[in-house]
Amino acid sequence: MSSKEQEDLPPGQVAIKRLLRWGKEHPTIGGSVPKIDLESWILVIDGEVEKPLKLNWNDVLDLPKIESVSDFHCVEGWSVLGLKWEGVRFKDLVKLVKPKKKAKFATFECADRYTTSLSLEELSRENVLLAYRLDGKELEEGLGFPLRLVVPEKYAYKSAMWITRIKFTSKKERGYWESRGYSDTADVWKNDRLSK
């Protein structure tokens, strides 16, 4: 790794060449990668919103698509630089469901029972998206197929995989790792890994 690459990394991180695949190279919460059938998969978006939605796979593909290049940082200390994600910008979804005034957060629920939440302010950044392609290819099952969240400024446990529901809330809900001692802010540049 060049000194320039090391300078670009958050504290405590080391660059590796590619993302680790869950299930094969990394353990999952439920012990295995969920098997998702696109014919029956539905993304539910509800909670404190004026217009709740249920989107099937074709509905998601019909939404405005963006490409975003960003670095990916795991709380375990590894990073992958310059990944090209394709998908739907989160703030474009927000426009569709019209959150109520009291909505301040979103909780992401996943096919493996994983959960995490972020503020709508954090999710409104231009590079936050629901991704379905990585580096020109459809997401692999072990990387979150069919749909995962990408939040580049946070450790990867905030970038939920296998998303099935997005629930808008007025109060912050603690996610799987946050309720087990991990930092809720998960700020990679502040080395914010564990709750204080």
Interval 75-115: pLDDT, tens = 999 999 999 999 999 999 999 999 999 999 999 999 999 99
Query: Beta partners for 113?
Result: none
Q: What is the pLDDT of residue 54?
A: 98
Report the pLDDT value the prediction gives residue 178, as an integer from 0 to 100: 93
Q: What is the pLDDT of residue 31?
A: 62
Decide if pLDDT at 133 tops 80: yes
Enclosing H/E stretch for 121? helix 120-123
pLDDT over 90 (residue 2): no
pLDDT band at 1 (very low <50, low <70, confident <90, very high): very low
Kindly give, in sequence order, each residue whose CB lies less than 8 Å from that of residue 58, ignoring residues fewer than 6 positions away.
Answer: none
More confident residue, 21 or 72: 72
Give the Cα separation of 132 and 94 in Å (integer): 18
189 three-state secondary structure: helix
Please give the model's pTM, rounded to 2 decimal places: 0.92
Question: Residue 116 in contact with residue 72, Cβ under 8 Å?
Answer: no
Long-range contacts of 54-61 (CB under 8 A, 24+ apart): 57/146, 60/88, 60/130, 60/132, 60/146, 60/147, 61/132
- The model's confidence at residue 3, banded by pLDDT at 50, 70 and 90, is very low
